[in-house]
Amino acid sequence: MLASLLVLVSPTGVPQVLDAPIVLKVDTAKVLCNISPYIYGSNENDWAKSGKYLTFGRQGGNRMTAYNWENNASNAGGDWHNQNDDFLGGGNTPGEVPRKAVADALDNQKTFLVTVPLLGYVAADKFADGDVNKTPNYLEKRFRKSLPKKGAKFQYPPDLTDDSVYQDEFVWWLEKAFPVRSETSHIWYSLDNEPDIWSGTHSRIHPQKGTYAEIVQKSVSMAKAIKAVAPKTLIFGPASYGWAGYTHFQDAPDANGRDFLETYLSEMQEASKDAGKRLVDVLDLHWYPEARGDNKRIVEPDSTPGIAKARMQATRSLWDPTYVEDSWITQSLGNKPINLIPLIMSKIAKSSPGTKLAFTEYQYGGQNHISGAIAQADTLGIFGREGVYAAALWPYAGEAAFVHAGFDAFRNYDGNGAQFGDVALGATSSDPAHVSIYASKFSHKNGKVVLVIVNQYGGARSCQLSMASPGKQTRQYSVTQESPKIHIQHFADLKDTGFALNLPAMSVNVLEIEE
């Protein structure tokens, strides 16, 4: 019988338990799901450095909504004075902005998600002269119509004199530019970026609130045009910005009490039946938690005790039907849990079975604090266990060594490319709120199990780990609050199916068990 608990509070504000070992159990015979390789992604695409062992990249953000592939002009929208300019680079070579990004990804054996503008207008020039509304009739003079389908012969370079930009011609050219790809390298396409808030981010082009009918119609038209020239690709949509987008498309005037995601999925499903092909393969969402600690959102770089504690706990809102975070979202639900991934999966099962789920932007803050590493590691473990198909971290401003350490726990824990497995196994913790465990094995080889175990407590924790046939040798690698660099914590020979394990205070731990 476990001893009683003595709970103190550490200087970090995180509970510190001084007694009673945590009981961890791994069932190597219980396969939960195959872990998608594409959950280890980023929007930063620094393949030579922090992205070396990642798998998936994306080129997105507000700039891509009005990006003109013919001349590489873009409009900053509300991010910078609604200005047309050459911020994205690429010079005057058509398509150079996405071409370079795709080439870098494929050269490094990665899969890449390209954003295709959906709004209807793209920037015509790169004048960098401030707000385009200073120009009379700016929509006609400073922008070009962006159309899904050309309806005529494709060409490269594209015709710059016809006052229109064709997105199927863009996809045709990009597919043609990269005809050879490896088994781990794909080009996929996203239907724009955060259309639910176009009226805020791109008010010069779309001043009115978006509607359900509009986004469905635009998605259907563009998806058909893309699939006509790239029939084997995957299409991601609608790249919703967050909770209010998921539920009512940011107060869409035609919401009429309907849940947006359920409506979008069901209407895309019907359109797919009519088209004879699936039009949206992956439901694409963005997730920036609204959870708060010390009266601030956890996505801030601050890591005061309250923020750090809330940040580490916030990942529970992805899966835990008992956890209620401190946020306006839970308040709007009557102080009920978010339970995000199971909730979204249920909507998919109801309205569009077979659609995959992606989070192509997310971030938990704490880039220079151990709480950032813990939140990142927990997020990746949850994505794998819950069957998420693809995910891409939104880059932080400045260094983010602790967050990258959270990735390393799954992709490079020994400094030489050692990785978490690709099959999720059953695993439980007697204290899942503060000590979480993720278990894996490899589909292509036997005899090796890799665990990621996260300790949120402000003190070291002893654990009793049990599993059938754990092997004969174990290595423990840890990231602690002292440094984001993973280091060997423990190496031992095993003699039975259960053994004691020590977790350093506030740490991410990888346990490699092999025969």
**Rounded distance between C-alpha atoms, residue 514 and residue 414, angstroms:** 15
Whether residue 395 is contained in a domain is answered as no
Do 107 and 155 fall into the same domain?
A: yes
CATH number at residue 457: 2.60.40.1180
Does residue 270 share a domain with residue 187?
yes
Mean pLDDT of 37-56: 94
DSSP 20: S
Q: Range of 279's domain?
A: 36-289+356-362
Closest Cα partner for 481 from 380, 378, 374? 374
- Number of neighbouring beta carbons within 10 Å of residue 420: 24
> Which pLDDT score, from 0 to 100, does residue 240 have?
98
Q: Which residues contact 162 (CB under 8 A, 6 or more apart)?
A: none
Known catalytic membership, residue 194:
yes
The active-site residue out of 44, 70, 169, 194 is 194
| CATH code, domain with 134 | 3.20.20.80
264 in any annotated domain:
yes
Q: Compute the distance between CA of residue 112 and CA of residue 318 in angstroms, rounded to an integer.
A: 25
Alpha carbon distance 95, 115 (integer Å): 12
pLDDT, one tens digit per residue, over 184-237 is 899 999 999 999 999 999 999 999 999 999 999 999 999 999 999 999 999 999
Indicate whether 198 and 247 sit together in one domain: yes
Which 3-state string (H, E, C) describes 64-77?
A: HHHCECCCCEEECH
pLDDT above 70 covers a percentage of the chain that reads 94
Q: Is residue 416 part of a domain?
A: no
Q: Is a pLDDT exceeding 60 seen at residue 5? A: no
Residue 242 placed within a domain: yes
Domain final residue pick, 339, 362, 385: 362
pLDDT bin (cut points 50, 70, 90) of residue 438 is very high
The lowest-confidence range among 12-26, 34-48, 113-127, 354-368 is 12-26
pLDDT of the residue at 1: 24
* Contact between 337 and 322 (Cβ < 8 Å): yes
Q: Take residue 280 and report the two structure tokens written for it.
A: 């949206």
Q: Which of 230, 174, 179, 182 is nearest to 37 (CA)?
A: 182
d(CA 477, CA 506) in angstroms, rounded, equals: 14
Q: What is d(CA 214, CA 238) in angstroms, rounded to the nearest whole number? A: 12
Query: Among all chains, which residue has been given the structure tokens 């639900």?
Result: 333
Same domain? 15 vs 91:
no
Judge whether 350 lies within some domain: no
Of the three residues 325, 343, 362, the one that is the final residue of a domain is: 362
Closest residue by Cα to residue 64 from 56, 72, 52:
72
Rg (CA), the chain: 24
What are the start-end ranges of the E strands in 446-503?
Answer: 448-455, 461-467, 473-480, 483-493, 498-503
Same domain, 151 and 220: yes
Nearest residue to 73 (alpha-carbon basis) of 3, 147, 125: 125
**Nearest 10 degrees: Cα torsion 90, 92, 98, 99:** -100
The residues, ordered by sequence, that sit 6+ positions from 40 with a Cβ below 8 Å of its Cβ are 53, 54, 55, 56, 380, 391, 407, 410, 411
Are 23 and 62 found together in one domain? Answer: no
Do residues 95 and 188 both lie within one domain?
yes
β-pairing, 22-34 with 356-362?
Answer: unpaired
Does 75 reside within a domain? yes
**Residue 79 covered by a domain:** yes
Q: Are residues 89 and 13 in the same domain?
A: no
Q: How far apart are CA 172 and CA 230, in angstroms?
A: 7
Residues 6+ apart with CB under 8 A from 157: 70, 94
In this predicted model, what pLDDT tens digit does every residue of 249-297 receive, in sequence order? 999 999 999 999 999 999 999 999 999 999 999 999 999 999 999 999 9
Residue with tokens 């506030």: 506
Q: Quick one: 156 and 45 in the same domain?
A: yes
49 and 27 together in one domain: no
Q: Pick from 419, 462, 465, 461: which is nearest to 444 by CA?
A: 419
Same domain, 172 and 56: yes
Residues 6+ apart with CB under 8 A from 112: 56, 57, 58, 59, 101, 102, 105, 106, 185, 186, 187, 188
Judged against a pLDDT cut of 60, whether residue 119 lies above it is answered with yes
Give me the mean pLDDT over the 106-116 stretch.
Answer: 96
Look at the chain and report how many structural domains it folds into: 2
Closest to 244 (Cα-Cα) out of 332, 339, 337: 332
pLDDT of 3 reads: 30
Q: 321, 343, 362: which is the final residue of a domain?
A: 362
Q: Average pLDDT, stretch 357-370?
A: 97
CB atoms within 10 A of CB 491: 11
* Mean local confidence (pLDDT), 154-177: 97
Q: Is residue 218 part of a domain?
A: yes
Whether residues 27 and 41 share a domain: the answer is no
